[in-house]
Structure 1
Amino acid sequence: MKLSPDKTLLEYFYYREKNQPDNIYLRQPLGDTYKDFSWKEVGQQARKIATYLKSLNLPPKSNIALVSKNCAEWLIADFGILMSGHVSVPFYATLTAEQLNQVMVHSGCQVIFVGKLDEVENIEKGIPKDVTRISFPTYNPQPAHVQWEEIMAHHAPQAEDYLPKMDDLFSIIYTSGTTGNPKGVMLTFKAVASGVYSTREHAKLDYPNARFFSYLPLSHIAERNVIESGATIAGATVYFAETLESFAKNLATAKPTHFLAVPRIWTKFQLGILSKLPQNKLEFLLKIPVISSLIKTKIRKGLGLNNTAIILTAAAPMPIPLIEWFRKLGIVIQEAYGMTENLGAVSMMPREKIKDSTVGKVYPGMEIKLMPDTHEICTRSDWNMIGYYKEPQMTAETIDSEGWIHTGDVGELDEEGYLKITGRVKEMYKTSKGEYVAPAQIEVGFASNSFIEQICVAGNNLPQPIALVVLSDFARTTARQKVNESLEATLKGLNPTLKPYEKVQRIVILKDTWTVDNNKLTPTMKIKRGNIEKEFAAQLEPWYNKKETVVWE
């Protein structure tokens, strides 16, 4: 089927359903086995979901919620919602009951699909009482819910191929809430169609026998683009990760041709490799031509990345030393940049002409301008959001009268169309000397140190910044003196490259890892800088005044 900016995602699905009905679309791991879903089976189940939703006699284009970790039923339910003419509103599976209640009330959803969750009984408390609940079949279905299997047994598949209008609402995607409450980004079918069409060559959607691996939250724009849109249009097979423990095994089985990972995942991969093959030994082996090729192949096969056509990173800045480290292993990572408000599609690094320290070249059809004073990046395209749900004031503050989205990111654009991100407008803070510091750029300078797993540069109203650090598992088993020496050496190399007011005065090693559960990370593994700084605000000055360079909490 030829790609077109005038075809909705549903049209691509209907084409695959009719033209390759018996091909495997979804592969769901269940222990050591897989449950396979053909395009025909996914279509039949989604059409039954659509019939059921229509039987509820909801107002046209009602918002329908979906909360679950990634699994086959997530995509089936989402297609069922779209086929019924309603609007898909997915939520992160890591939300607390209170957080879920906030977005449920805000979105006004009267129906929710409840799927693969760690604590489904607890999340129940966040769902308003009058909302219809539907349980996925495999993952602890709740007896009081409408059961998936009942829908499958008692409803005929919708016969018609429902075709939405291009300007109809496709989905309301709530941001991950790095700062403040999540905002509901409204995206149309036109936005999805235009974005996919304009990035089609970059995404290699014509790659034969494509395989995708789904594990990042499907409620996030990046995974929604890559897995739901990309795999559907490519006619690919989607493999899922079952659990954190089975992740490596599931990935090795999938052997994806298209793979996306956030920087924290790449750091985990690196630390896993170095735990088996220390850096000094790795460097030595890579210098021996025949051995080098064998080592690279073995590492790539071990990760499940030996058949990749495209490897992406997104959602947070990727440290250059980490990209270079993987490149030496034959794993070429292409950085992509965007935000929910512009469909996550602003720029991508071309594999053939990599320019490190940038986030690649701006996509065709995407306009960029930089604000004169702040250098804030503004974007304009056919795949802009139409606004924030129920938030006209926030919408007016983000989209100006000429249709430019003000991203909040600060950057530079060179003559070849490569974009560089230098910080966040809201993350910049003022030292006690009155100078503004962009912490993200300083944090990247620590990326080459494998003892560091997480870092947050802080120091509002301190004379100089300090770095709050969480050690890697590898570092936690290393002698404290050796860790101190390594961190001091990194700091000694970094500070001369920084402006005088950016030089890091102190490194503070914290006891606890930052996680989604303790509200220090978003579901896409970005640090919640405000939460971290708030927790340690009272200790920043005493830490700053210590004599030693490396301070242990």
Structure 2
Amino acid sequence: MTMHPDLPADAFSLQRLYHWERHAPSRITLTQPMGGGVVKEFTWSEVADQVRRIAAHLKAQGWEPGSKVAILSKNCAWWLMSDLAIWMAGYVSVPLYPTLAPETIHHILTHSEARACFVGKLDGWEHMKSGVPADLPCIAYPLSPPDAVASYDGWEAICSRTAPMAGEPTRDPDDLATIIYTSGTTGLPKGVMHSFGNFTWAVDRGTRSRILMTQSDRMLSYLPLAHVVERTLVEHGWLKSGMHLYFAESLDTFTADMQRARPTLFFSVPRLWVKFQHGVHHKLPAAKLDRLLSIPIIGGLIRRKILRTLGLDQCRWAAGGAAPMPIELLAWYRRLGLPINEGYGMTENLALSHITEAGKNQEGTVGPAYDDVEHRIDPATGEIQMRSQALMLGYYKEPELTRAAYTPDGWLRTGDKGDIDNLGLLRITGRVKDLFKTSKGKYVAPAPIEDRLVMHEALEACVVTGANLGQPLGIAMLNAETVASLPKDAVQAELEASLIRHLDAINARLDPHEQLACLVAVTSAWTVDNDLITPTFKVKRNRIEDVYARHYETWVASGRKVIWLVG
């Protein structure tokens, strides 16, 4: 592969696009599935040309500089090009998760004062479209829902009739680049404001020593680009390194998407890493896999075959984040020859806070802080606090919330509890506000218990709760495969016995006041639509309490270790 000139260190997002447009115009940089096994590839020259045409169209609308333009779409090539076009036109992008309820969509579009919205690749558009104000100008992508294509101006039509914007328009590092609405576990989402300088500083520090990216790398973009990690790591990592990005088509094609991309860099949330593991165990039970891996030659063959099946045989850097990674899960992947780095961050700091160092076993922690990131623990509350040059400009239209997010001396309050060891490694122990007290007057930190509980192959997500009860309890959502097997009584009896063994093993490692009185197995899905999880699969504890709290005392009083909540 021809290597092109390195990017200037001080280049910002648009300058990075212009760099690749000049120095690698014919190089393929985006691969987009179009359905039916067909893909569309974009060179840097084609990306820049379409960005320039859409930017010229947006600029022609005559909106004042800094106007907001929204993007509502699943990940695709046009998502990235929309973002760049918005910036090139002098505006601010507002990404929306492609799974939001119509009420939330309406709130974000009106709160941000969006002047237009790109409506792209979506699965639930029929349900979502009522959230888009009828008078809001919209632009449809080639893969948009049919009625969106019919109702709105089209991307391809705009490109065909609009001359590309000339020159190399730039933005100031202090300019507002985007407003990322957090998928918070409580209340309405807040609009986190970040500048171009924030992104440049974050991706430069991230790729300088911890996440080495090159033009030869490949990534699969599938986690929502509206999320801060995908935005910083994938979008801005792509612009900095000039790598080749692939996009996932759907959940049904994810295996084929992974095989097409064969990513060299791969990030995922713990939930997917667990699903990968369960998929392997479904074909090769854990006990048998352990035996095979212990045989020198056969073990090596098995490792390579599993990683090749997952599409991760060429992955040289893997990471997890957005929620804690269970230590047992990290150890399992390390035994396969794929060590997973665990990262920690939040929207307010562009996800650039901590990550474990490649080649070092720092399991149980999220590693040391990134270069030039400061961290400390509040001695009074145990809260993790940090500061860097990637901190948000504030919450859009929320000065009081912005002030509350910082300490008087300018450190960001993360809301997480933790401790820092003598090597500078950060260990997260829970949320400041997630601790609850049982009726015995003892505090329980739910996060470490949940890490162990969710490791059962039948469970998709879980919560440990029980404020003011004699003992805490666990509530767990069964995965779809398990729910499908439940009508058979023998299967349910076998699963219940397995869950009891799992519960007993967890309780054996807990202090008496932490031990779970029972496990409630829920067969109905926790989804974004029923407001029980966020778009990044974090369980909304307050909503779990709203739905289930009235049953807690009855469940605990029943004396049963597993309680079935069907339907």
Partner of 1:545: 557
Does the 8 Å CA contact 1:5/1:193 hold for their aligned counterparts? no
The 8 Å contact of residues 435 and 446 in structure 2, kept in 1 or not, is answered as: yes
Who is 1:417 aligned against? 424
Could you say which residue in structure 1 is the equivalent of 2:160?
Answer: 153
Q: Is the 8 A contact 1:205 1:230 kept in 2?
A: no
SS of 1:199's equivalent in the other structure is helix
Measured in 2, the distance between the counterparts of 1:322 and 1:296 equals 15
Give the equivalent residue in structure 1 for 2:136. Answer: 131
Q: How far apart are 1:328 and its partner, in Å? A: 1.2
Matched, 1:317 2:324: yes
Q: What is the alpha-carbon distance in structure 1 between the residues aligned to residue 482 and residue 101 of structure 2?
A: 31
**TM-score, normalized by length of structure 2?**
0.94
Question: What SS class does the counterpart of residue 25 from structure 1 fall into?
Answer: strand
Aligned to 2:505: 493
Task: After superposition, give the CA deviation of every residue in 1:469-504 in whole Å (9 maximum; x if it has no partner).
Answer: 123456554733332333222332322432332121
The worse-fitting range, judged by mean Cα deviation, of 233-242 and 448-457 is 448-457
1:110 and 2:111 equivalent? no
Give distance in 1, aligned partners of 2:151 and 2:33: 27
SS at match of 2:114: coil
Aligned partner (choices 513, 532, 535) of residue 547 of structure 2: 535
Residue 173 of structure 2 corresponds to residue 169 of structure 1: no
CA 1:517–1:202 in 2, change beyond 3 Å: closer, same or farther?
farther
What number of residue pairs does the alignment pair up? 553
Stretch deviating more after TM superposition (76-85 or 518-527): 518-527
SS of the aligned residue for 1:479 comes to helix
Q: Distance in 2 between matches of 1:43 and 1:322?
A: 41
Alpha-carbon distance in 2 for matches of 1:29, 1:2: 29
Residue 24, structure 1, aligned to residue 28, structure 2: yes
Report the 3-state secondary structure (helix = DSSP H, G, I; strand = E; otherwise coil) of the residue aligned with 1:403.
coil
Secondary structure, counterpart of 2:163 in structure 1: coil
SS in 1 for 2:144: coil
CA drift of 1:464 comes to 1.1
Give 1:62's aligned amino acid. S
- The match for 1:371 among 356, 378, 381 is 378
Distance 1:511 1:474, change over 3 A: closer
**1:27-42 maps to which residues of 2 (within 5 A)?**
27-30=31-34, 31-42=36-47
Q: 1:291 — aligned with what?
A: 298
CA distance in 2 between partners of 1:205 and 1:87 (Å): 29
Deviation at 1:247, TM superposition (A): 0.7
What is the alpha-carbon root mean square deviation over aligned residues? 1.6
**Alpha-carbon distance in 2 for matches of 1:406, 1:206:** 30
In the alignment, is the contact (CA less than 8 A) between 1:205 and 1:233 conserved in 2?
no
379, 395, 399: which is aligned to 2:402? 395
The residue that corresponds to 1:460 in the other structure is 467
Please show how residues 235-384 of structure 1 align to structure 2 within 5 Å: 235-384=242-391
SS at 1:421's partner residue? strand
CA distance in 2, matches of 1:351, 1:135: 41
Q: Distance in 2 between matches of 1:459 and 1:206?
A: 45
CA change 1:33–1:143 in 2 (3 A) is closer
Q: Distance in 1 between matches of 2:298 and 2:375?
A: 46
Letter aligned with residue 439 of structure 1: P
Bigger Cα displacement from structure 2, 399-408 vs 73-82: 399-408
Structure-1 separation of matches of 2:110 and 2:360: 47
Q: Tell me if the contact between 1:275 and 1:474 (Cα under 8 Å) persists in the aligned partners.
A: no
Asked whether 1:60 is paired with 2:65, we answer yes
Distance 1:413 1:157 in 2: 52
Q: TM-score, normalised by structure 1?
A: 0.97
- Aligned to 1:483, which of 488, 495, 498? 495
Indicate conservation of the 8 Å contact 1:354/1:360, yes or no. Answer: no
* Residues 287-340 of structure 1 deviation map (CA, whole Å, 9 limit, x = unaligned): 211111111111101111011121110111111111111111112111110000
**Cα 1:4/1:457, change in 2 over 3 Å:** farther
What letter is aligned with 2:506?
L
Q: 1:503/1:387 Cα in 2 relative to 1: closer, same or farther (>3 Å)? A: same
d(CA) in 1 for partners of 2:195, 2:498: 50
Secondary structure, in 3 states, of the residue corresponding to 1:318?
Answer: coil
2:463 is paired with a residue whose SS is strand
Corresponding position of 1:7:
11
Partners in 2 of 1:8 and 1:411 — Cα distance?
A: 34
SS in 1 for 2:49: helix
Whole-angstrom CA distance in 2 between matches of 1:331 and 1:149: 42
What is the identity percentage for the equivalent residue pairs of Structure 1 and Structure 2?
42
Amino acid at match of 1:425: V
The alignment partner of 1:362 has SS state of: coil
Q: Matched residues in 2 for 1:485 and 1:124: separation?
A: 45
Question: Which ranges of structure 2 fall in alignment gaps of 5 or more residues?
Answer: none
Deviation at 1:3, TM superposition (A): 5.9
Q: Which amino acid aligns with 1:363?
A: Y
Instruction: Check whether the contact 1:3–1:197 (CA below 8 A) recurs between aligned residues.
Output: no
Deviates more, 1:104-113 or 1:437-446: 437-446
Q: Specify the alignment match of 1:438 in structure 2.
A: 445
Q: What letter corresponds to residue 44 of structure 2 in structure 1? A: W
Match of 2:537 in 1: 525
Q: Which deviates the most, 85-94 or 449-458?
A: 449-458
Aligned position for 1:89: 94
**Amino acid paired to 1:108:** E
1:376–1:407 contact (8 Å) kept in structure 2:
yes
Moved more, 376-385 or 528-537: 528-537
* Contact kept? 1:5, 1:190, Cα under 8 Å: no
